[in-house]
Amino acid sequence: MKKALIVSLILFLFIRCKKEDAVAAQISKIETNVSVERFDRAFAKAKPNELGKLKTTFPYLFPNRIPDSAWIERMIDSNQLQLNTATNEKFGDFKSETNEIENLFQHLKYYDKTFSEPRVITLTNFVRYREKVVVTDTIVLIAIDNYLGEDYDLYAGIPKYIAQEMKPSQIVVDLAEAYSERQIFQYRKKTFLDEMIYFGKQLYFKDVMIPFKSDAEKIGYTPQQLQFAKENEDMIWTQFVENEMLFSTESSLTARFIADAPFSKFQLELDAETPGRLGQYIGWQIVKAYMENNDIPFKDMLQKDAVEIFNESNYKPPK
């Protein structure tokens, strides 16, 4: 009996791998037309008398409420000049980032036949790291001064747990996250479980759309933080269950385990050793278990109720 189960498992894994390989081959053949427009470079090179030309080419970047004098002043601002130099040195021709964006768009096209490539425009925004990317049906804006590496001088006042994600490899991760927010439906987000499953869906969306990125990059952890989450998954889950957190509507749980933070707050001695957002990590594992244990299309899962996903996931953390 044991031998038969092992053989069945091996056969199942073989068939699944073959299916995944076939999908990957189809995705790689999808044609995309990605051309990144470097507004950051155009603005860095422009003279005050060329502002009108810039406004004609990129009208949506020049709101009427901001006078031309403010843009001309920005052209000679010392911080802006520093960002011009830094972004040019860091990204050069933006080729590797463009390749990853193209790969993301291939996956989006495969899973959504209505998707068409938007204009992709890079710019700087004086390191407003809460506004790194903007995604619409027709335009993608990427503020590349937010991806210069966690040790960049202008990031000195930014908390380390935020700065660690401000590097070039996270651009396509942030874009995938922005696209996930446009496709995930959740009827309500009232309980801690609702929050966990929402972000679990978001992270699973990244599994599907950017499989070329590591799990650490998808969730914004260092390799060491991801290893902690994996090694302590059973402990984390036990804390959530024994303290009756899953169906709690206590808003503090979001701050303790879902929101960006330097560490998660179990109110235990080990807190300082933990990464933040462990509720997101557990939600990810629940959604993974749901997809492994149920025959359901990926896009249908994005619309499912959190309680239904949890109940049908048969999630059990590894011991």
User: Domain-by-domain residue ranges, the chain?
Assistant: 36-183, 192-313
Answer yes or no: are the C-beta atoms of 122 and 36 closer than 8 Å: yes
Region of 222 (left: φ > 0; alpha: ψ -120 to 50; beta: rest) is: beta
Query: Tell me, what's the pLDDT at 22?
Result: 77
CA angle, residues 126, 130, 133, in degrees to nearest 5: 85
pTM above 0.85, yes or no: yes
134 - beta bridge partners?
141
| Regions of the chain where pLDDT drops below 50 | none
SS3 (DSSP) at 302: coil
Of the candidates 123, 132, 17, 111, the residue with the CA atom closest to the CA atom of residue 299: 111
Instruction: Report the run of H or E that residue 28 belongs to, with start and end.
Output: helix 2-28
List, in sequence order, every beta strand (DSSP E) within the chain: 36-38, 119-123, 133-135, 139-143
Query: Tell me, what's the pLDDT at 12?
Result: 53
37 - beta bridge partners?
121
- Estimate the share of the chain in helix, then strand, then coil, as percent rounded to the nearest 5: 60, 5, 35
Residue in the block written with tokens 């278990």: 289
Query: Tell me, what's the pLDDT at 309?
Result: 97
Rounded-to-integer distance, Cα 69 and Cα 77, Å? 12
122 - beta bridge partners?
38, 142
Residue in the block written with tokens 């070329």: 212
Rounded-to-integer distance, Cα 283 and Cα 202, Å? 9
Cβ neighbours of 162 (radius 10 Å)? 17
Rounded-to-integer distance, Cα 251 and Cα 79, Å? 39
Provide the pairing of β-strand 119-123 with 133-135: unpaired
Quick one: tokens of 11?
A: 């056969």
Of the candidates 150, 142, 153, the residue with the CA atom closest to the CA atom of residue 167: 150
